[in-house]
């Protein structure tokens, strides 16, 4: 593992937040660090479960066809649950996590308040080791990658993610965090397959994608795949290991920050999309970086 010249301090910024929004002072450093691709680490921000909710920490509640239980709080759609008697409790938990996340974002990242959209969240009950054993390399998130959705093109919108470790046995979520996006993309760009508008149209026509992939979506998916399939990069690419303890939370732009989950079990995750125009520094987005490297308009 190559962690030369990289320390946790250069990739991970620790903030002292203790509450989910109320009475937290705004911190201008948060948006700056996040848009540079750093992880915001909130060691004192625990998301608490009630005694009753603790019975939901059971991997057998996840549908075998799914990786996680997921929830769209605006539409109220819950997917991936095996036991419908647990549905009201699960909905309550995931709705509360969404409300807490929203209030945290509004306080910590006020620049984004009017732009955050398409919230979805998930309860991740399986141990990370289950991915390695059961899924294909493409779906194995213990390999360093940047996020790109295969079936839901996002046309450059940012993927902002909050995670909270709710492990009841005190186990950390262990991640690896990688290098700066421009450096990463410059290195991989020559290896990425060319974009074909016809393939993109066809993939949409046969239902592989919910809307046609843009040139941007194509490049991001290619990058995701090339990173995950590159054994040399996985082993020796720039990266640092970092443990997020039980009772902590962390935030990153997961389309920009290379990340891999190495071990741990039981986390909550909240995703928001953010249009590039809603950023403080749009030029730091993967879209603008890829456009500057390719000299093309990508969406
Ligand atoms: C990922 O988003 O790639 C996995 C993160 C995690 O579940 O810890
Ligand atoms: Fe990921």
Reported as a single tens digit per residue, the pLDDT across 48-93 is 999 999 999 999 999 999 999 999 999 999 999 999 999 999 999 9
Residue 289 has pLDDT above 60, yes or no: yes
Distance CA 161, CA 168 (A): 22
pLDDT score of 4 more than 60: no
The closest of 170, 173, 162 to 42, measured between CA atoms, is 162
Per-residue pLDDT at 1: 56
Instruction: Give the number of the atom of ligand 1 that is nearest the alpha carbon of residue 145.
Output: 3
Distance of alpha carbon 67 from alpha carbon 146, whole angstroms: 18
| Domain membership flag for residue 6 | no
- Secondary structure (DSSP) of 29-94: HHHHHHHTTPEEEETT-PPPPPTTGGGG--GGGB-TT-SSEEEETTTTEEESBS-GGGHHHHHHHH
Q: What is the pLDDT of residue 6?
A: 64
Find the length of the chain: 299
Residue 165 within any structural domain of the chain: yes
Residue 259 has pLDDT above 90, yes or no: yes
Separation CA 283–CA 292 (nearest Å): 9
Among 129, 51, 53, 141, smallest CA distance to 92 is for 53
The mean pLDDT of the chain is: 95
Rounded to the nearest angstrom, the distance between the alpha carbon of 254 and the centre of ligand 2 is 6
pLDDT at residue number 125 = 98
Domain range enclosing 249: 12-294
**Is 87 a domain residue?**
yes
Whose CA is closest to atom 8 on ligand 1? 261
In this structure, is residue 184 part of a structural domain?
Answer: yes
Amino acid 14: pLDDT = 96
Would you say residue 9 has pLDDT above 80?
A: no
> Is residue 56 within 8 Å of 123, Cβ to Cβ?
yes
In a domain, 242, yes or no: yes
- Report whether 228 contacts 142 (CB < 8 A): no
Angle of helix 215-229 relative to helix 286-294, nearest 10 degrees, comes to 90
Average pLDDT over residues 160-173: 98
Does a structural domain hold residue 27?
yes
- Residue among 104, 89, 92 at smallest CA distance from 46: 104
pLDDT of residue 2: 57
Judged by its nearest atom, the ligand closest to the C-alpha of residue 131 is 1
Bridge partners (DSSP) listed for residue 15: none
CA 187 vs. chain centroid, Å, equals: 22
- The 10s digit of each residue's pLDDT in 195-218 is 999 999 999 999 999 999 999 999
The CATH number of the domain holding residue 226 is 2.60.120
In a domain, 4, yes or no: no
Distance 4 CA to ligand 2 centre (A): 23
The predicted-structure confidence for 88-142, as pLDDT tens digits, reads as follows 999 999 999 999 999 999 999 999 999 999 999 999 999 999 877 777 899 999 9
Confidence of residue 27 (pLDDT cuts 50, 70, 90): confident
pLDDT of residue 26: 77
Paired with 158 in beta bridges are: 274
Number of domains in the chain: 1
Domain contains 259: yes
Q: Which atom of ligand 1 is the closest one to the Cα of 175?
A: 8
């Amino acid at each position: 593992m190559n962690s030369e010249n990289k320390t946790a301090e250069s990739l991970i910024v620790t903030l002292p937040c203790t509450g989910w929004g109320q009475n937290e002072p705004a911190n201008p450093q948060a948006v700056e660090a996040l848009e540079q691709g750093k992880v915001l680490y909130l060691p004192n921000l625990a998301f608490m479960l009630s005694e009753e909710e603790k019975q939901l920490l059971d991997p057998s509640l996840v549908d075998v066809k799914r990786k996680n239980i997921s929830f769209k709080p605006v539409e109220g759609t819950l997917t991936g649950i095996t036991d419908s008697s647990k549905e009201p409790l699960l909905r309550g938990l995931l709705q509360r996590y969404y409300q807490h996340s929203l209030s945290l974002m509004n306080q910590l990242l006020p620049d984004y308040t009017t732009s955050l959209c398409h919230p979805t969240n998930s309860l991740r009950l399986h141990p990370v080791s289950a991915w390695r054993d059961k899924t294909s390399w493409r779906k194995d998130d213990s390999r360093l990658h940047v996020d790109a959705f295969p079936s839901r093109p996002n046309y450059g919108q940012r993927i902002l993610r909050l995670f909270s470790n709710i492990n009841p046995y005190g186990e950390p979520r262990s991640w690896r965090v990688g290098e700066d996006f421009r450096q990463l993309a410059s290195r991989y760009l020559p290896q990425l397959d060319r974009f074909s508008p016809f393939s993109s149209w066809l993939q949409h026509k046969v239902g592989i994608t919910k809307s046609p992939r843009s040139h941007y979506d194509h490049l991001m998916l290619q990058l995701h795949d090339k990173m995950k399939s590159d054994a040399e990069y996985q082993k020796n690419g720039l990266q640092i290991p970092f443990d997020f303890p039980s009772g902590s939370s962390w935030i990153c732009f997961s389309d920009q920050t290379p990340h891999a989950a190495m071990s741990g079990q039981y986390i909550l995750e909240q995703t928001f999309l953010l249009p590039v125009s809603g950023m403080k520094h749009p030029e730091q987005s993967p879209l603008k970086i890829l456009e500057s490297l390719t000299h093309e308009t990508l969406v």
